[in-house]
Structure 1
Amino acid sequence: MQSVTRKAARQLARQARIASRAQSTTAVATQRQTRTANTASTPSGRRSFATARYSDDGSARSAVINVLNNIASKREVQQYLAQFTSVSSQQFAVIKVGGAIMTDYLDVLCASLRNLNQMGLFPVIIHGAGPQLNKLLEDAGVEPQYKEGIRITDGKTLGIARKLFLEENLKLVEALESWGVRARPITSGVLMADYKDKDTYQFVGEVNKVYGASIKASIADGYIPVLTCMAESEDGQVLNVNADKAAAELARELVPLKIVYLSEKGGIHDKETGKLIEAINLDEEYDEYMKKPWVIHGTRSKIRDIKTLLDDLPRSSSVAIIHPETLERELFTHSGAGTLIRRGTKLHQASSLPEFQNMDRLKQTLVRDREGLDAAAVVDRYLQSLKNRPLRAYYDDNMEALAIVLPPTETSANSSLAHLATLTMTRSAWLSNIADNVFQNLKRDFPKLAWTVKQDDENLTWFVEKADGSIARKGEVLFWYGIESPEEVRELMSEFVQHGRQMFGDINLESQLHRAAAAAERIRARAASLAGMRGGQQAQQQARAFSTSARPSRPSAIGAQAQAQRRGYATTNPNPPLGIKNREKDYPSKVAVIGARGYTGQALIDMLNRHPNMDLCHVSSRELAGKKLKGYDKKEIIYEVLTPDDIRRMAEKKEIDCWVMALPNGLSKPYIDAIDESGHKEALVVDLSADYRFDPTWTYGLPELVQRHKIASATRISNPGCYATAAQLGIAPLVPHLAPEPASPTVFGVSGYSGAGTKPSPKNDVNNLTNNLIAYSLTDHIHEREISSQLGTQVAFVPHVAVWFAGIHHTISLPLAHSITSRDVRQLYQDRYDKEKLVKVSGESPQVKLIAGKHGVEIGGFAVHSSGKRAVVNVTIDNLLKGAATQCLQNMNLALGYGEYEGIPVD
């Protein structure tokens, strides 16, 4: 058992920061030594870049990620890194560096930028030099003049400023180079400006145009661009511009995910309380902040300018005002650092179920967080339990985030402790910080709150940040905030320790309600007893209790695993799926494969050999009859010839639970008819051919796109084609965004020669394929019809065969109805397949040589034409595995009641 208070949590965080800082300090010292050595070794006194540069290999990247893991969970780091690397490099971040940072925190800044760069990230840097300029002007006897907070820049001041900015720019570039970061000074040609008011401010400008070509070229060449806050007028006059405003104009041009203002203050502080403001959600809080008496002058202008900027950018963009020491923490953790300003997401509220305008959407949101195939039934029971209960729900328009709090009931006079019964977030909700927005509302409305989370939850560190204390026991963590009395904390912990498994286990909801209610009464009784000992009003104020939660076990009211939408389905299924209760049988399931000679049959047999609940009983092959089956070690099996009559007799005796038809197209029907005629209707049949893919009485077995409960309740499953599986997964997320017909997606597909089968032909003749590419069935291929039929939109498909053995590569061109950025396209795919264990989405185009032997699909590329109206996506798949045998086993597992990925190696 572990107990963690806020103080302890802060100590742990402080230790992590100290460790991280120590590493940075050691690195700083090493770099300084390197700089000295390099300077001494070069005739010109300039350092040798080749000897100082850090190696840009996998070990450096791993080392950086290990450092980041000291300040965040591995999951958080990977989530944000995937998000940042999903966009073109110039769209990662614009970072404004103040002059004080250049003076006091240069090494810290360089260390952070090196870490980002070694992970393949290229922030755009723009710096100021205000404090340095003030000192130079003072030394030169020039008294700074200001009007409305803006420095009046006369000719002499401009000359001093210009020289200073060039020196500071070179200083930062050389410092970065000494840290092994390739940096390029860009001191002109980017920012264009008009005179602000020449008569008043003289050589002060307002940026009116940004030319980003040199920035993009710098990044393309592998350099971080470093800009000064000096601009030029149309006639070539250099103008002094405000660095914050220049950074904003850069952001409008580059559209980055993050705009970072580095500040020695580390963020915006509430001048009434002195506390750091962690986040400002402009859609909800802008007017409120503008009314605060302390939001005046520079603070008011800054918040107003940031709102104007973010209104011009996608909702995914945000502004962070942070200290340079916390740059990585801001970028790679849910909790962030400093002050995060975003447009935010306006949250709706409901105080009862009838207030939800869309109950179907509510059910769908709860189902997505439930792992079992009985999700709908569990959700219905949960909602029934809430029907007549007071509650407070918070949710956004799309219900990417949903929180349901059960407040104390009227009968719980001695308690003011509310219970967070449900918290479900999509991946994009976490990354866009909607979770923080929700918790801000919770803390505003509920001074005291308790909730529980699985100890291995990937967002555990985020919950630690939100809590005052916690206790862990047997895989569960109880969190709370707002409880200050030691007696209350001890009582809460005692109840959790004694009854945690009953109250917090994944048990039947109806039983849980009764147990939770009983536990709550025990707490109230103990609290009342404590109140009596303490006496009077003080006791009433301090006695606390759990509410009778419908789901006190975790932030999700439904589901065997919290945050299930980000983890996928479990590999075991203790509860039988819907629709298979009539298929009761002894386990393991008895399987027969008809047509096991081909490559697909062999691949399936290999997986059945590893499957703990599949018993392969018969394999039929006319060519191999009488020979021993290789690759199956559970028992000896001899190939045999099974006729339709043989199969009918076996089916009548119910000897086989699952029949797999691994026959060429057009040959399955006699065998399937024999099974149908036997009367053994509950026997499962999976057909790998195309014979039944267009039969509405059969279930199409593509689990990632077809509702799994339909597959689980099916007895006749048509396994999709290999080309068709990859193409559908590569097109499906963009179907709602496709241009209307006659425009249609085009799939250029290339398969290895194993797709041509074992029967000799020009398409599997290696000599014929060497240095060659063969196109075939250029129109009306059966997979073209299959893809179009399943997606509900016409798709053109052109197949080819190449010299490699296994693996398919698709290049898919998709006409779009409206302009979409490549970042948004990738986000659609990441969100759609986030919980799918056999679908990997990455920014790079997948390589066919890397997919052979793997059981999943890889999707990448995500290029968008300059018009914004055509996207190109690449997909790879092993045609024998996920394209056939692996998918077959997925379907068998679902329909027979096993974990979907049982027997399938999942990376």
Structure 2
Amino acid sequence: MLALRSTAGAVARRARTAARRVPTSSIPTIPKAATTVALSSRREYASPASDSFSTRSTVVQLLSNIGSKREVQQYLSHFSSVSSQQFAVIKVGGAIITEHLESLTSALAFLNHVGLFPVVVHGAGPQLNKLLEEAGVEPQFEEGIRVTDGKTLAVARKLFLEENLKLVEKLEEMGVRARPITSGVFGADYLDKEKYDLVGRINKVNKGPIEAAINAGCLPILTSMAETPEGQVLNVNADVAAGELARELQPLKIVYLSEKGGLFNADTNEKISAINLDEEYDYLMSQWWCRYGTRLKIKEIKELLDLLPRTSSVAIIHPADLQKELFTDTGAGTLIRRGNKLDTATDIGGFEDIQKLKDVLVRDREGLDAKATVDRYVDGLKSQEFKAYFDEPMDALAIVLPPNSTTSLANLATFTITKAGWLTNVADNVFAAIKKDHSKLVWTVKEDDENLTWFFDKAEGSLSKDGEVMFWYGIESGDEVKELMTEFTKHGRSMLGDANLEARLQRAASAASGMSASTKARAAQQQSRPFSTTVRRPASKTSRASTSRGFFSQLRGYATTTNPNPPFGKHNSSNTQPAKVALIGARGYTGQALISLLNAHPNMDLRHVSSRELAGQKLKGYEKRDITYENLSAEDVRRMEADGEIDCWVMALPNGVCRPFVDAVEEGKGPQNSVIVDLSADYRFDKNWTYGLPELVNRSDIAKATRISNPGCYATAAQLGIAPLVPFIGAAPTVFGVSGYSGAGTKPSPKNDVENLTGQIIPYSLTDHIHEREISSQLGLEVGFIPHVAPWFQGIHHSISIPLNKSMTSRDIRQLYQERYAGERLVKVSGEPPSVKAISGKHGVEMGGFGVHSSGKRVVVCVTIDNLLKGAATQCLRKFCFSHLFH
């Protein structure tokens, strides 16, 4: 198996992915100094190559709020590689001007502030319909085209001028110079005078007014009106005008701003993230849902792109997401490109030019012996079974080795993409083709690869070790995951590839027949080292407390923290024995959830489970060993600690009960310096214990701690939902919380009686709830908390009302949250309010909504969390990770 190199040099980037529908960032605030430079020195600033270092750095830093520095630099370079008018044509519908003028002008202002000059052409269809209705004129359409008589045209001309000035004036209010261009660009003749009357067919585009505006440092704002050679004004559809403008200017981007924010697949009701026309056009046209407006739009875009360079693309996007679409790999709307058709080969003879193949393999290799190494690799492939995927210019090449007698997983042995390949979306197309042919795949990548996040998006799971990250998809059982994890941990680089390129290439050629004897011998000598588990959740749902698969399929992107002084003398990096865990109090739902997670983890060994009510019964749901419930006393715990039997004690007891057991551990003074994780509220206010909320507490503190208090479920969601706004809070926030009845425990009560709960929610502890105190003490401010219980089983919803000390917009607030939780794989921030149904059985926290009161001084943030998982068991298991129990 190879460790892949995903790029052809520092400019390579990850492609757009199916995960493009991530939360979008709002527009960063532009410092006045940057604005001044942009406006006063248009020609110089429009060419990034000639920017001053400080201005360039400021721009990159600002854009880095919505994407990585690498993405920003690459896109700025890409967009500034052509003349100013060739950056982008942006078509603005009338509804966008009416409903989203603030978002539109903010987006255009930002582009201008970074030295870019999009050419804007707008329509005013909805406004025109309204005016005509008020004037008593009934709109008439033939084949979707507005019939335009003299009266209609008179109303339309006046309206277009007003809407154009509205847009221009709003831009100038924001410090952006804009020039209204209402005539002189589009020449036309009659489309069909008898049928449509004063409707034009554009036959000429005059670039002069556009170039003059840009040369003067102004954004050109065009109306979709055309003139005949005789001077007759004709009405033209704004989409048509934008297309004709694009044909003339040959821009890199053609952007259609849409309230929907993209095209949608009616089968799944999901946004179509990207369309590669060369590969997908015929398929899309054959789909039942591709009809009417969607079909016409795709057809028109194909006809347009067929006449433009392959570097051009079309984006359909909401104006609020324009920056994310233009400057990040993930994008936000629907991206449409021509792309390149893919070809495949199953033997060396399938490549028309072997030398070209070798050149492709050499292009991102380092070292004087790269050519000789590739020669040996190609020779090795002559006798091996494989399947290669590549486009015509070979901007992308992937070689996959099939499953063999030792593994059911195919191996992605080679994956190389040029800059052009990334920019034209070929990387995604190649991977999609691989996925069609191989239901299970594994591959490794260097952990410092700049495109690592692209691979995370493609994978369903991963492990990192020794500078390598192993990714996979298609594994359906926990046993397969555990086996793969164990193999990777035991064999390390000797199994999955090492730092030596030649060795990796040679091993790829022989991997189809399994590891050699010498490789196995070296693997046996390897010591297990600390590793991280990062796994994406599969599509299947997890039911209630049955979460063993769920944890390892959802804890994506999480890495253990390295502790230079691990608290487990018997479990350092030279010892591969799993950590020994005892669970005190396992009858409740949280205890059962934690048992499932421990069962799925290869480096955790559950040894004892204590429950007074279940003593003597066999533990179900744990497969590593037979365990019988015990009724452990404090004296039993003291003895076990003194004898060094346990590395970590988990207290899953009701509030006020666990102190005797904690005292027993401390009195036992065992040689292994055991960790205690308390799931109750008993030690959450004890300064000698570490509060274990890793998103808000220093992870190194958790890593060093041996006494860790697990945050409450309600409190976890509330703190994460309030924390980013603490500097801006004007008065006490109020948390309206609703939990499923599993939060009321297993002891029968009206709060977990489903019959009693049906058709209602029950409020309880309306003031002074223990979580109210916990939230307030951890955030350092007063917070009101009103808990309720509902008739669903698991999952919590918070609606948090937060008064602000200054006026803020929803976009401002959403950006604060996205920045605060950037990189936190268990925290998802989106614009829409999250749902309890979606979070149930998952291991993270989701937040959104960000509804701002009309005063701008109060916001409501919605947060959901699974009370049994991230609210308890998942949070607990992460403490093990931080405390080096993964050794």
Superposition TM-score, scaled by structure 1 size: 0.50
2:454 matched to 1:462? yes
In the alignment, the residues of structure 1 paired with residue 520 and residue 465 of structure 2 have an alpha-carbon distance, to the nearest angstrom, of 22
- Deviation of 1:361 after TM superposition, in Å, equals 0.9
Match 1:270 to one of 253, 265, 272 = 265
Query: Which residue is equivalent to 1:223?
Result: 218
Against the structure 1 CA distance between its residues 73 and 473, is the aligned structure 2 distance closer, same or farther, given a 3 Å change threshold? farther
Match 2:74 to one of 68, 74, 79 = 79
Match 2:468 to one of 465, 472, 476 = 476
2:370 matched to 1:375? yes
Query: Which residue is equivalent to 1:493?
Result: 485
Residue deviations 1:753-797, cap 9 Å, x none? Answer: xxxxxxxxxxxxxxxxxxxxxxxxxxxxxxxxxxxxxxxxxxxxx
Identity of aligned residues (%): 60
Query: Which residue is equivalent to 1:810?
Result: none
Contact 1:73 1:459 in 2 (8 A): no
Query: Which residue is equivalent to 1:851?
Result: none
Amino acid at match of 2:140: Q
Against the structure 1 CA distance between its residues 190 and 57, is the aligned structure 2 distance closer, same or farther, given a 3 Å change threshold? same
- Deviation of 1:14 after TM superposition, in Å, equals 9.0
Residue deviations 1:291-346, cap 9 Å, x none? Answer: 22222222222222112111211121111112222222222233333222222112
Amino acid at match of 1:230: M
- Deviation of 1:267 after TM superposition, in Å, equals 1.4
Residue deviations 1:365-395, cap 9 Å, x none? Answer: 1111210111122112222332222222111
Query: Which residue is equivalent to 2:115?
Result: 120
Query: Which residue is equivalent to 1:93?
Result: 88
Against the structure 1 CA distance between its residues 489 and 273, is the aligned structure 2 distance closer, same or farther, given a 3 Å change threshold? same
Match 1:354 to one of 349, 358, 364 = 349
Contact 1:334 1:431 in 2 (8 A): no
Contact 1:192 1:234 in 2 (8 A): yes
In the alignment, the residues of structure 2 paired with residue 297 and residue 220 of structure 1 have an alpha-carbon distance, to the nearest angstrom, of 41
Contact 2:461 2:472 in 1 (8 A): yes
In the alignment, the residues of structure 2 paired with residue 173 and residue 57 of structure 1 have an alpha-carbon distance, to the nearest angstrom, of 29
2:103 matched to 1:108? yes
What does 1:508-527 correspond to in 2, within 5 Å?
508-509=503-504, 510=506, 517-518=514-515
Amino acid at match of 2:422: W
In the alignment, the residues of structure 2 paired with residue 135 and residue 466 of structure 1 have an alpha-carbon distance, to the nearest angstrom, of 47
- Deviation of 1:515 after TM superposition, in Å, equals 8.3
**What SS does the aligned partner of 1:176 have?**
helix
- Deviation of 1:194 after TM superposition, in Å, equals 1.6
Query: Which residue is equivalent to 1:200?
Result: 195
Query: Which residue is equivalent to 1:387?
Result: 382
Amino acid at match of 1:193: A
In the alignment, the residues of structure 1 paired with residue 412 and residue 365 of structure 2 have an alpha-carbon distance, to the nearest angstrom, of 17
What does 1:266-665 correspond to in 2, within 5 Å?
266-409=261-404, 411=405, 415=408, 417-502=409-494, 503-507=496-500, 508-509=503-504, 510=506, 517-518=514-515
Amino acid at match of 2:212: A
**What SS does the aligned partner of 1:294 have?**
coil
Against the structure 1 CA distance between its residues 250 and 388, is the aligned structure 2 distance closer, same or farther, given a 3 Å change threshold? same
**What SS does the aligned partner of 1:280 have?**
strand
**What SS does the aligned partner of 2:311 have?**
coil
Contact 1:16 1:70 in 2 (8 A): no
**What SS does the aligned partner of 1:295 have?**
coil
In the alignment, the residues of structure 2 paired with residue 312 and residue 164 of structure 1 have an alpha-carbon distance, to the nearest angstrom, of 33
Match 1:66 to one of 34, 41, 61 = 61
In the alignment, the residues of structure 2 paired with residue 254 and residue 154 of structure 1 have an alpha-carbon distance, to the nearest angstrom, of 31
In the alignment, the residues of structure 2 paired with residue 424 and residue 459 of structure 1 have an alpha-carbon distance, to the nearest angstrom, of 12
Residue deviations 1:596-643, cap 9 Å, x none? Answer: xxxxxxxxxxxxxxxxxxxxxxxxxxxxxxxxxxxxxxxxxxxxxxxx
Contact 1:393 1:402 in 2 (8 A): yes
Query: Which residue is equivalent to 2:250?
Result: 255
Residue deviations 1:431-453, cap 9 Å, x none? Answer: 22222222232233333333222
**What SS does the aligned partner of 1:132 have?**
helix
**What SS does the aligned partner of 2:265 have?**
coil
In the alignment, the residues of structure 2 paired with residue 452 and residue 213 of structure 1 have an alpha-carbon distance, to the nearest angstrom, of 53
Against the structure 1 CA distance between its residues 59 and 168, is the aligned structure 2 distance closer, same or farther, given a 3 Å change threshold? farther
Residue deviations 1:545-589, cap 9 Å, x none? Answer: xxxxxxxxxxxxxxxxxxxxxxxxxxxxxxxxxxxxxxxxxxxxx
Contact 1:80 1:431 in 2 (8 A): no
Contact 1:407 1:418 in 2 (8 A): yes
Contact 1:96 1:260 in 2 (8 A): yes
In the alignment, the residues of structure 2 paired with residue 521 and residue 272 of structure 1 have an alpha-carbon distance, to the nearest angstrom, of 48
**What SS does the aligned partner of 2:462 have?**
strand
In the alignment, the residues of structure 2 paired with residue 150 and residue 515 of structure 1 have an alpha-carbon distance, to the nearest angstrom, of 61
Amino acid at match of 1:291: S
Unmatched tracts of structure 2, length 5 or more: 1-15, 33-38, 46-50, 524-547, 550-887
What does 1:668-707 correspond to in 2, within 5 Å?
none
Against the structure 1 CA distance between its residues 161 and 77, is the aligned structure 2 distance closer, same or farther, given a 3 Å change threshold? same
- Deviation of 1:70 after TM superposition, in Å, equals 3.3
In the alignment, the residues of structure 1 paired with residue 275 and residue 129 of structure 2 have an alpha-carbon distance, to the nearest angstrom, of 32
Against the structure 1 CA distance between its residues 192 and 481, is the aligned structure 2 distance closer, same or farther, given a 3 Å change threshold? farther
Against the structure 1 CA distance between its residues 12 and 333, is the aligned structure 2 distance closer, same or farther, given a 3 Å change threshold? closer
In the alignment, the residues of structure 1 paired with residue 144 and residue 22 of structure 2 have an alpha-carbon distance, to the nearest angstrom, of 41
Residue deviations 1:639-674, cap 9 Å, x none? Answer: xxxxxxxxxxxxxxxxxxxxxxxxxxxxxxxxxxxx
Contact 2:124 2:163 in 1 (8 A): yes
Contact 2:380 2:510 in 1 (8 A): no
**What SS does the aligned partner of 2:294 have?**
helix
**What SS does the aligned partner of 2:471 have?**
strand
- Deviation of 1:513 after TM superposition, in Å, equals 6.8
What does 1:124-143 correspond to in 2, within 5 Å?
124-143=119-138
Match 1:235 to one of 212, 230, 239 = 230
Count of residue correspondences? 488
Amino acid at match of 2:441: L
2:179 matched to 1:179? no
Contact 1:191 1:230 in 2 (8 A): yes
In the alignment, the residues of structure 2 paired with residue 369 and residue 293 of structure 1 have an alpha-carbon distance, to the nearest angstrom, of 43
- Deviation of 1:362 after TM superposition, in Å, equals 0.7
Against the structure 1 CA distance between its residues 14 and 91, is the aligned structure 2 distance closer, same or farther, given a 3 Å change threshold? closer
Residue deviations 1:407-455, cap 9 Å, x none? Answer: 223x36x72x322211111222222222222223223333333322222
**What SS does the aligned partner of 2:117 have?**
coil
Amino acid at match of 2:130: K
In the alignment, the residues of structure 1 paired with residue 238 and residue 19 of structure 2 have an alpha-carbon distance, to the nearest angstrom, of 37
In the alignment, the residues of structure 2 paired with residue 469 and residue 146 of structure 1 have an alpha-carbon distance, to the nearest angstrom, of 53
Contact 1:95 1:261 in 2 (8 A): yes
Contact 2:402 2:411 in 1 (8 A): yes
- Deviation of 1:57 after TM superposition, in Å, equals 7.5
Amino acid at match of 2:293: G
Against the structure 1 CA distance between its residues 116 and 373, is the aligned structure 2 distance closer, same or farther, given a 3 Å change threshold? same
Residue deviations 1:51-110, cap 9 Å, x none? Answer: xxxx99865654442233233322222122112111111111111112222222222222
Residue deviations 1:146-180, cap 9 Å, x none? Answer: 22112222222222221111111111111212222
Unmatched tracts of structure 1, length 5 or more: 1-8, 32-48, 524-541, 544-907
Residue deviations 1:111-138, cap 9 Å, x none? Answer: 2222222221111111112222222223
Contact 1:407 1:419 in 2 (8 A): yes
In the alignment, the residues of structure 1 paired with residue 184 and residue 487 of structure 2 have an alpha-carbon distance, to the nearest angstrom, of 67
Query: Which residue is equivalent to 1:645?
Result: none
